[in-house]
Amino acid sequence: MVRVVGIDHLAIRVGNLKESKHFYDSVLNFMGFELEWEFDEVVGWNNGETMFWITQADTIGVRHKHRTGDVGYHHYAFELAAREEVDALYDFLMKEKVTIVDAPADYPSYGEGYYAVYFLDPDGLKLEAMHFVEKEKRRARRIREKGPDNEIGESQ
């Protein structure tokens, strides 16, 4: 058996690289990512934990816009450190005139302290920024049980 210790990167195809680069550069910079590299038709940001890449869709892909409900990508969730950060991002998104799907709200059916905002990128891809108290408690419990060296899944 192997153990995944994290998600290294997410790569999505976009309909207009220039427009999407502007959108993601603005939103990701606000969330602490830095533009790491850009070559050919690929742009990537990094926050030290996760890389987020966009690539230009090919000519056939550009004609087939994403539709919520299709097989494939549903949404990507960015975990934030506090509810207040979710609210701060929401305020930023509103100033940037980003399409909001659901304003910040509690989602108790998802678990204790799940608080999130949902929004769309220029291609209609759904994104989420969330804070999850229950997840923080699970992390703390795991550290207590296994020690701080196993926080990110190091071998025992």
Residue 29 Cα to chain centre, angstroms: 12
CATH of the domain at 137: 3.10.180.10
Residue 31 lies in domain: 1-60
Tokens representing 127 are: 């994104």
The count of domains in the chain is 2
Task: Dump pLDDT digits (tens) for 80-131.
Answer: 999 999 999 999 999 999 999 999 999 999 988 999 999 999 999 999 999 9
Task: Please provide residue 73's backbone torsions phi and psi, each rounded to the nearest 5 degrees.
Answer: -50, 130
Q: What is the pTM of this model?
A: 0.85
| Residues 4 and 49 both lie in one domain | yes
Write the DSSP symbol of residue 108.
G
CA atoms within 13 A on the CB side of 90: 19
Residue 68 falls inside a structural domain: no
Q: What confidence category does residue 155 fall into, taking pLDDT thresholds of 50, 70 and 90?
A: very low
